[in-house]
Structure 1
Amino acid sequence: MAARSLERFLPDEAATTRLGEDLAMAVKPGDVLLLDGDLGAGKSTLARGLIRALAGDPAHEVPSPTFTLVQSYDTPVPVHHFDLYRLSSSEEFLELGFDEAVASGVALVEWPERAAEAMPAVSLRLAIEHEGDGRRIVISGDGPVFDRIARSLAMRDFLVSADFGDARRARFTGDASARGYETVTPEGQAPLVLMNSPRLVLGPPVRDGKPYAEIAHTAQTVAAFVAIDRALAAGGVTVPGIVAHDLDQGFLLLEHLGTGAFLDPVGKPIAERYAAAAELLAMIHGKQWDDRLEAAPGVVHQVPPFDRDALMIEVDLLVDWYVPAVTGAPASDALRDGYHAAWNAVFDRLADKQHGLVLRDYHSPNIIWRGEKKGFDRLGIVDFQDALIGPVAYDVASLAMDARVTVSPDIERTTVDAYVAARHAAGSFDEPAFREAYAIMAAQRNSKILGIFVRLDRRDGKPQYLKHLPRIRDYLHRALAHPALADLRDFYRDNRLLEEFDA
């Protein structure tokens, strides 16, 4: 396959430093970047910009590795800077630990032609040459690393189009999806958030010729975020203001709502904050929301239903991933049939329960505490693009049984009670029906999460999620204790669906 390429003109040293920053936003361990160019072409300036961006410090000391041949940096993505100008032999190169460096981080290689035979075929080549008073760089390569670099440069172009082309970019956070986030800090201004949300890759068909994401109604484009953001803002919910957007490419420039932690300094839940978040949910669930929301002129997002197919394919994650991890074998057809029958009987009970806008990921990672504000404005909500119209109790279960935080039974109870009290205060409210729906949706959500966290380990190479499994099993036990779920509880018990396993 022929290498692809793209070019950039760099009029000055600041532009070269910004390009290094753009590269830093995209690189991953295992990437090898070959820096070609004559003396004074700007290779070291580019490398320095990349390293400082990874370090999150524009003044980070980056000495030249000309005499040491390699300099390593313990940044969030480790980087190893090689300068082979004074390399005396191929044996000397072997002693530098190049293979080990590539295995653990990113390798930047100046003068790579001095050890050309040792450079990986998948390396990205950055050729810099003088052009007038500036430089021209040609970036060539293929595969995922080229795709990531090209997208990062497209993000810089997006910032240019929004009049923030000179802003400093820094890695911010990511999540379990393909979305990524950066902070963007214009000179002398408050930081913004740059969301990188490429169109969802749907994956292979899993049922009735449809992929999982289509059945589960996962948002496929960033237009869903924009439409729901604007609707929530109009409804009195504090969400990020949209500064600029490119719906086709999936780029959003957003207001930064702050960094106030919803949890305490050691990561434990604060009962008063969970109660406040529950009261905000009660306000949201007490409103009528249109299921057709405008993202931009002529672009309408249809909020999908949390229908039976979506509910079922989510709980199927438990038998698809968790059961094989526990038993060492795929779930049998008999187990699947019994599981579906048990859950269908439970889902039948949701028909007369309250439906409305379900944010779907309403829990601590997506709630920003703004203690200096008043009322509902104390809570900034940042992740809702997968919202559905369905049983609103799901969001209460998402909060009160927070997947990444151990919420005690006492705090769970005060959280749910705060929601119930707020719903009663707002008008007529069927509390017994809600509490039954809460148990059903808590059991549904936690069954799904057991499967998701195993899948993140087994399929996606993210074993850190396995540490949450004991908590999720405890939550599921709590949910199944509701009398309405007696038959489902018996099925789980009889088929040992909550067994622990050796991660």
Structure 2
Amino acid sequence: MSQVLHTPIAPATAREQQRRDFLARQGQADTPLQALAADASARRYFRLTNAGLLLMDSPPVAEPLAPYLRVAELLQQVGLSAPKVLAADEEVGLALIEDFGHNTYTRLLAAGHVEQPLYELAVDCLAELHRAPQGLGAVLPAYDTAHLASEFALFCDWYLSLLSGEACPADVRSEYLALFAGLCAEVAERREVVVLRDYHVDNLMLLDDRLGVAACGLLDFQDALHGAAAYDLMSLLQDARRDVPEALQQHLLQRYLAQRQELCAERLLADYAVLAAQRHAKVLGIFVRLAQRDGKLGYLDHLPRVERLFQRALDAPALHPLRDFLDQRFTGWRAGPAPDALAALRAATL
């Protein structure tokens, strides 16, 4: 007769126990949890089955909860749909928040939803946020020279290092940083709006039970800063993860400007061009870092698109000095990483 082996139930980890204790304090001790797919950050989300709620697990050291709570309140003040926070424990980094459901823009577009109405809603939502008094964002850190530089440096430190197979020489790095800082000097002084900084289809939702701009649900806004109005508009229209048709981009730019006639359109478009180069440089570095350091290889699939976006951004006359610098210092950079370099990176992280 064969012996029946009983596998003991593994004890909860310390973090699991913190989650259980937090939910118990909110009267949700017995509600089943469903882990949602992770993204590039250290945060995790769990859906409370049939409760209309999510548990947000935001480790205090890596992802302090306070910025999320602050920005959610700012967005709600101007009538936008950030998830309501029902309970939060900042010390342990846990919050119980409203669940917006399943209809992310990404999911809807993949299922064949017509893209123009979704994008128009997202642009209208931005325009509404940007019409709020400039002081709304004054409680946030400034999107200043230091913040911009810490981001465009990632291109040098990760992407160019992948191209060359070695660390970027110190003198070349210094020249690159100085050149880019000069290009960003004016936009670094803008204190116009709350800049959500990750405004794209992965972080937008369609809320069918709400009207007007409130039908656009906003996610992952905790890194918001006080900066230029052009940034989030550019992030939406020049998405690192999906192609947005050129005609639609132009239509949406004009739709935004029509709602903000107090703006100098020429200045906004100049900011848009510089910030496009800045963001694409940052994203190229981040995607390589996520693959190389964190083993998240899926981000490499987006490199060709972001490379195209970055090169196109450098075609703007104001960006020619940076384009010429890269052409001189990194011959062949436009071709992107060599196939064997990408293969080696994939193999090293498997």
Provide TM-score, normalisation by structure 2: 0.89
Q: Deviation per CA, 1:297-321: give whole Å up to 9, x if none.
A: xxxxx52111111111110101101
Superposed displacement of residue 392, structure 1: 2.3
1:110 matched to 2:7? The reply is: yes
Equivalent runs, 1:28-43 vs 2, <5 Å: none
Greater share of strand: 1
Greater share of helix: 2
1:446 matched to 2:283? The reply is: no
- Structure 1 318/236 Cα, relative in aligned 2: closer, same or farther at 3 Å? same
Q: Which residue of 2 aligns with 1:308?
A: 145
1:403 matched to 2:240? The reply is: yes
| Partner Cα separation in structure 1 for residue 117 and residue 298 of structure 2 | 29
| Preserved contact between residue 436 and residue 482 of structure 1 (Cα < 8 Å) | no
Q: Which residue of 1 aligns with 2:347?
A: none
Q: Which residue of 1 aligns with 2:128?
A: 283
Provide TM-score, normalisation by structure 1: 0.63
Superposed displacement of residue 353, structure 1: 4.8
Q: Structure 1: any 5+ residue segments left out of the alignment?
A: 1-65, 68-84, 88-108, 112-124, 127-138, 140-145, 202-219, 293-301
Report the structure number with the largest CA radius of gyration: 1
- Structure 1 447/287 Cα, relative in aligned 2: closer, same or farther at 3 Å? same
Q: Structure 2: any 5+ residue segments left out of the alignment?
A: 343-350
The partner residue of 1:250 within 93, 104, 117 is 93
Superposed displacement of residue 199, structure 1: 1.1
Equivalent runs, 1:129-168 vs 2, <5 Å: 139=11, 149-168=13-32
Q: Which residue of 1 aligns with 2:336?
A: 500
- Structure 1 498/391 Cα, relative in aligned 2: closer, same or farther at 3 Å? farther
Q: Which residue of 2 aligns with 1:364?
A: 201
Superposed displacement of residue 354, structure 1: 5.8
Q: Deviation per CA, 1:406-448: give whole Å up to 9, x if none.
A: 2232232223222222212xxx110000000001111101100
1:271 matched to 2:271? The reply is: no
1:182 matched to 2:46? The reply is: yes
1:333 matched to 2:190? The reply is: no
Equivalent runs, 1:77-116 vs 2, <5 Å: 85-86=3-4, 110=7
Q: Which residue of 2 aligns with 1:461?
A: 295
SS of 1:368 mapped into structure 2: strand
| Preserved contact between residue 43 and residue 57 of structure 2 (Cα < 8 Å) | yes
The partner residue of 2:80 within 214, 217, 237 is 237
SS of 1:243 mapped into structure 2: strand
* More displaced stretch, 381-390 vs 326-335: 326-335
| Preserved contact between residue 197 and residue 222 of structure 1 (Cα < 8 Å) | yes
Structure 1 counterpart of 2:36, one-letter code: F
| Partner Cα separation in structure 2 for residue 385 and residue 352 of structure 1 | 21
| Partner Cα separation in structure 2 for residue 276 and residue 349 of structure 1 | 29
Q: Deviation per CA, 1:41-63: give whole Å up to 9, x if none.
A: xxxxxxxxxxxxxxxxxxxxxxx
1:173 matched to 2:37? The reply is: yes
| Preserved contact between residue 262 and residue 369 of structure 1 (Cα < 8 Å) | yes
| Preserved contact between residue 188 and residue 227 of structure 2 (Cα < 8 Å) | no
Superposed displacement of residue 192, structure 1: 0.7
Q: Deviation per CA, 1:113-169: give whole Å up to 9, x if none.
A: xxxxxxxxxxxx84xxxxxxxxxxxx3xxxxxx7xx221121111111011111111
Q: Which residue of 1 aligns with 2:346?
A: none
Equivalent runs, 1:339-354 vs 2, <5 Å: 339-350=176-187, 353=190
CA-based RMSD of the aligned residues comes to 2.2
Superposed displacement of residue 237, structure 1: 0.6
Which is bigger in relative contact order (C-alpha 8 A, separation at least 6)? 2
| Partner Cα separation in structure 2 for residue 340 and residue 404 of structure 1 | 26
Number of residue-to-residue matches in the alignment: 334
Superposed displacement of residue 352, structure 1: 6.1
The partner residue of 2:220 within 383, 386, 403 is 383
Q: Which residue of 1 aligns with 2:266?
A: 432
Superposed displacement of residue 284, structure 1: 0.9
Structure 2 counterpart of 1:414, one-letter code: H
Q: Which residue of 2 aligns with 1:487?
A: 321
